Structure 1
């Protein structure tokens, strides 16, 4: 610790620290490790206190020395070297190496003189059987009664290895490797947090009239799910859910509303910062390699967990019939993970968030953005999730939302605004529906800056309040509170006619991304709508949710004619 501190190394890895020996109340045998932790500002990563020691008294002594003690894991159970749970709780726990690095950074900013201890539980596959280790340690301690000083620990560890027939040595090697790996991850995250160079984002293309600002301060942030999609297309005109095998195609692609939005924004010339989570499996490797230009700084990799997977069944026309999703990974996009990137969120011109996040994560993100004055675009993803921001009183923090008619119906029902009409069956039904939806949502437009309501093959509408003659003004920057918003209006955009539809999966995400990318350029709503429709059209013509053909050229799409509707 002393050497590391003197040469400017902030993070130090070891196997397990020394501590208060058993019977120290009479022998006063206390390791110098604890004193050094109290006076040397270095973060020590280890597998806890050696199990031959008094773990409880060691934790008490570290508290006396003012040492920050935290467990790297989902709970605060403190490890004792050979086993993952000593029976004692640490004062705190952190869920990822990134959050541990943030603690190290904050300790440095406060110029504290004491050190920090990050305890990493031994991997389960290397954990020794608790009762066998305990019996071996008790026997070794008894045999060491005649030994004193620094010869005690080596003797006991050697005897434990003999008694367990080498099991403790195998565990020791496993935890050392794991500690080294974890310590290097924390160090890498710490370097990212503290190095000025880490803020640099290389440009995706040469600057031209179509490209956006490339400074880090102009980066939109996307918080949401990353999913591997399996798309099943039935090629037979008629089929039954009876267990019979039908001819069709099965393709693998990459999705998740949050990831789709970030992927599309990258291809449109933006430089989004994606905050998401994946497992440590082959799906994650393929997903992250899909678009190398999409940064991984905000990606949480959860060991021994599966990346989220979604399987959708399409008919011959590309229409979705049903889907099955394994979305447990989204629970790992936690407030503590997002907290690591608070600076990115506070600097963002816009934060886009999907409804796959947990309620507490949505609440935390909306609270943070509201306090920082950052506009939020909420993508509901389905009817159940459409209402999440409003369930616990955070609806005022949503600046933009992009529900379809079904999701809007759920939201209006929750807010008791009235019944949203059925989806149109012909183009003649659209004008009446737009007028009706505008009337139903007018009270909501007193609190939300704009709604994008999608209607599938019949296009979409933008609902907002605007003074007469300024209905087509840009949506960014968002006017300050208290400014006159004008009357409720709807801008209806009919869908672009496409020669063929390969898949509708991802079309809505590309529509939103095209609209947002144009909005980031401070374009008028009409131009934003044209860009969104052009992006959606490219998605419809390809199997991947976000096609490789998507490019910044869609932002220069011809101005699309839209209809203006008033109450």
Structure 2
């Protein structure tokens, strides 16, 4: 057999080159987007052996005539679907010894014929580390050789890996040939290009049958190098806040003594920092200048060990700065914002470079400092892969930017005035309004008034496609508004339980147990539900950052596996900690203190 093959090679192709250099595959670390590939064909003997072991002796697998005439399979016997699917765990285990195959979903779209080659692909979609293991969700596909565009089998698998380090597979120790490269000899007479291509195909067929199959190849995903886990993605401004707080009543036209501080700020940045301090690592997409303020903001990010790949630092650009003046009680008197760099440089093209990060995220948060084009681009990326979007209105003026993207928004957290502005932006001419009244005999009456004034705008925004409205009412708490048919739980496949969320859940279950009636949505219901969660009394030091901490608490809790009502309760407790601190984001959070508060 070896001699006849060599004669065939000599007749059809020259030169025949044998490479004696053995290459060693580099050690690779599995990242999201990496793919394992292998080609394989099943023989009649293998199919017969599987039929004997499994007991599945359906004649479409064993009798060629029956398969064609009765089964309708034009190429004869088909391989058992589960035998083909067994290539998926085999491929994973070959590269990650000790892997435990936990779950597999399969859809059999086309037959795989006995003797026909198939291409098997296993791609890492999501990686979640635990203390000693890695839970990896793989996309699994098998393609028939004659149609590499449509898979014969498609599905998803969950495997538990002891390590993310790939172990290269070993080729057989005595191969028929070592690496063989065939080059057609132009001087060989062929009957046109048809004969040439036909000869080449025959040679490739002989090559595949007689040579050992190459080991599966792990293809590195360039963006995967920075992303191996599922983190919430935060897109928006990083701002240097300048806080001026007078020690006496300020007077127009003159200066008064007081304290001036530089503080890391920006709605998106504050939320990301809060999330990080709640044991959920965010991925930040933002922009700063190459100046003192930009270096100041990045210094903290780097010292915390957070990824800065998404933060664009631009020459000759002023880092966004906001200068605020407060009164003695911590209320904002006036502020001036210079955040043009966010709109100009946080562009759709920059955001689209991180499509893989957004696609793998449990949640995307965008703030209204982004340009309308960037807001829409971000939402479309998330919408295409089913990632929920949290819209932070930022201000009354910028909250109206929700108008063209309302249908993509899952969560938003306006205050009373931002809520009305959002509703009016979707309903010209302006038909919603709100007048704040400070004096009420009791809080219950105040909440009743707020509901009466705000419910038309809340109901209208839900009709426009927003799933959850979290309307912040300052000292009066929060309205949680949604359709009755809306599930209060986020997709648990992308949630990652932390020690922090576990402690919170243990205590919050007593207040908002998971079997409450409101957690059982009625399919098809069009009723609107509004829940009121009261605020927690606090000793106010500064109100700056309270709203951002509320949102950060909600997002971290949702990503940690808590439902909406529990997450809002966490957000309220985090906001309490914020107003009792001088900093935008308190230095430390205690799970026990927050759950108890």
Cα–Cα, structure 1 residues 368 and 525, in superposed 2: closer, same or farther, change >3 Å?
A: closer
Q: Which residue of structure 2 lines up, in the alignment, with residue 246 of structure 1?
A: 256
Helix, strand or coil at the partner of 2:287: strand
The structure with the largest strand share of the pair is: 2
Q: Which residue of structure 1 lines up, in the alignment, with residue 489 of structure 2?
A: 474
Alpha-carbon shift at residue 198 of structure 1 (Å): 3.5
Q: Which residue of structure 2 lines up, in the alignment, with residue 352 of structure 1?
A: 365
Alpha-carbon shift at residue 422 of structure 1 (Å): 2.2
Equivalent-residue separation in structure 2 for 1:195 and 1:445 (angstroms): 36
Equivalent-residue separation in structure 1 for 2:434 and 2:492 (angstroms): 32
- 1:491 is the counterpart of 2:531: yes
- Selected match of 1:395 from 396, 406, 416: 406
The answer on whether the counterparts of 1:262 and 1:294 sit within 8 Å (CA) in structure 2 is no
Alpha-carbon shift at residue 405 of structure 1 (Å): 0.9
- 1:257 is the counterpart of 2:274: no
Q: Which residue of structure 2 lines up, in the alignment, with residue 459 of structure 1?
A: 477
Helix, strand or coil at the partner of 2:397: coil
Q: Please list, as runs of the form range in 1=range in 2, the aligned pairs for 1:362-381 lying within 5 A after superposition.
A: 362-381=375-394
Q: Which residue of structure 1 lines up, in the alignment, with residue 555 of structure 2?
A: 516
The answer on whether the counterparts of 1:453 and 1:460 sit within 8 Å (CA) in structure 2 is yes
Alpha-carbon shift at residue 485 of structure 1 (Å): 5.0
TM-score (norm 2): 0.54
Unaligned runs of 5+ in 1: 1-191, 201-215, 561-567
Alpha-carbon shift at residue 421 of structure 1 (Å): 2.7
Q: Please list, as runs of the form range in 1=range in 2, the aligned pairs for 1:482-561 lying within 5 A after superposition.
A: 484-499=524-539, 501-550=540-589, 557-558=595-596
Alpha-carbon shift at residue 411 of structure 1 (Å): 1.4
- Selected match of 1:272 from 270, 273, 282: 282
Helix, strand or coil at the partner of 1:557: helix
Equivalent-residue separation in structure 2 for 1:349 and 1:530 (angstroms): 20
**How many corresponding residue pairs?**
344
Spell out, residue by residue over 1:195-214, the C-alpha distance to the aligned partner (whole angstroms, 9 max, x if none). 865434xxxxxxxxxxxxxx
The answer on whether the counterparts of 2:417 and 2:434 sit within 8 Å (CA) in structure 1 is no
- 1:429 is the counterpart of 2:469: no
Cα–Cα, structure 1 residues 305 and 268, in superposed 2: closer, same or farther, change >3 Å?
A: same
Q: CA RMSD in A?
A: 2.8
Equivalent-residue separation in structure 2 for 1:196 and 1:375 (angstroms): 21
Equivalent-residue separation in structure 2 for 1:288 and 1:485 (angstroms): 48
TM-score (norm 1): 0.57
The answer on whether the counterparts of 1:265 and 1:513 sit within 8 Å (CA) in structure 2 is yes
Equivalent-residue separation in structure 2 for 1:506 and 1:533 (angstroms): 13
- 1:305 is the counterpart of 2:317: yes
Cα–Cα, structure 1 residues 457 and 522, in superposed 2: closer, same or farther, change >3 Å?
A: same
Alpha-carbon shift at residue 250 of structure 1 (Å): 0.6
The answer on whether the counterparts of 2:227 and 2:357 sit within 8 Å (CA) in structure 1 is no
Alpha-carbon shift at residue 551 of structure 1 (Å): 5.1
Unaligned runs of 5+ in 2: 1-219, 494-518
Equivalent-residue separation in structure 2 for 1:477 and 1:370 (angstroms): 17
Q: Which residue of structure 1 lines up, in the alignment, with residue 306 of structure 2?
A: 294
Q: Which residue of structure 1 lines up, in the alignment, with residue 459 of structure 2?
A: 442
Spell out, residue by residue over 1:191-238, the C-alpha distance to the aligned partner (whole angstroms, 9 max, x if none). x963865434xxxxxxxxxxxxxxx1x2110000000111111221x3
- 1:382 is the counterpart of 2:395: yes
Equivalent-residue separation in structure 2 for 1:522 and 1:435 (angstroms): 33
The answer on whether the counterparts of 1:538 and 1:549 sit within 8 Å (CA) in structure 2 is no
Cα–Cα, structure 1 residues 356 and 260, in superposed 2: closer, same or farther, change >3 Å?
A: same
Helix, strand or coil at the partner of 1:295: coil
